[in-house]
Amino acid sequence: MRYVQIWKSAVVVLGLAFILGGCAAAEVQQGDNLGDFDVRVADALEEARSGGASEAQLAIVEQAGKEGSVTFEDAKVAVSSAISCMAAAGIAATYEEDALRNGVVIPGFTVKVSEDPALSNAADVCEYSESYWVNKLYQTQPSAIDANLAFIEKQAPVIRQCLEDAGYDTDPDATGMDLVLQSAELDTAEFHCALDAGVMGY
């Protein structure tokens, strides 16, 4: 039986423009996202209940609603529960942490599964049962978004220089997010200034 090694980050990273409700780039500032987290928690709780989340995961999501955040420790506990679930299903998974350049550390795991669809499905079931919605909130909570926004502003001169070196004009008043969005519009397989500057999930 041939095995493949798969990195399982805990969640699809949502774009900041989507999370922040489509705000104009120049209007996006740290702290603007605080009021939206309650909505994301409510949505996550509804999705988790209908998506087969365990009581343990639901409890962490509910706690996030009360406290306005998801701690690293809670996210790690949820991922560890997913790994235990996989082990019970005969799937080898190893805990990993993905340290992003914006300073956010994401708990996750590497899972080794066969090409048997049943085992691959079992790994997905464990992730959704134990950790998916917790990590979705962990990565989209106000502190994580603020960390990314701050990193984008820090990398703005790098992105600007990359764009101008490639022959593109930039607005001298452009914010970091403006420059990231300009870069995204111009992205090709060989040209991606924002990504080269370490910006992910905007």
For the entire predicted model, the pTM comes to: 0.80
pLDDT values of the chain reduced to their tens digit, one per residue, 202 residues: 344 445 455 444 444 443 443 333 334 444 444 458 999 999 999 999 999 999 999 999 999 999 999 999 999 999 999 999 999 999 989 999 989 899 999 999 988 766 778 888 899 999 999 999 999 999 999 999 999 999 999 999 999 999 999 999 999 999 999 999 999 999 886 788 999 999 876 6
What's the pLDDT score for residue 34? 47
| Both tokens assigned to 144 | 């994580």
Q: How many CB atoms lie within 10 A of CB 166?
A: 11
Looking at residue 117, what is its pLDDT? Answer: 84
Coil, strand or helix: which one is 13? coil
Element (H, E) at 4: strand 3-8
How far apart are the two ends of the chain, measured CA to CA in Å? 40
> What is the distance between the alpha carbons of residues 177 and 97, in angstroms, rounded to a whole number?
27
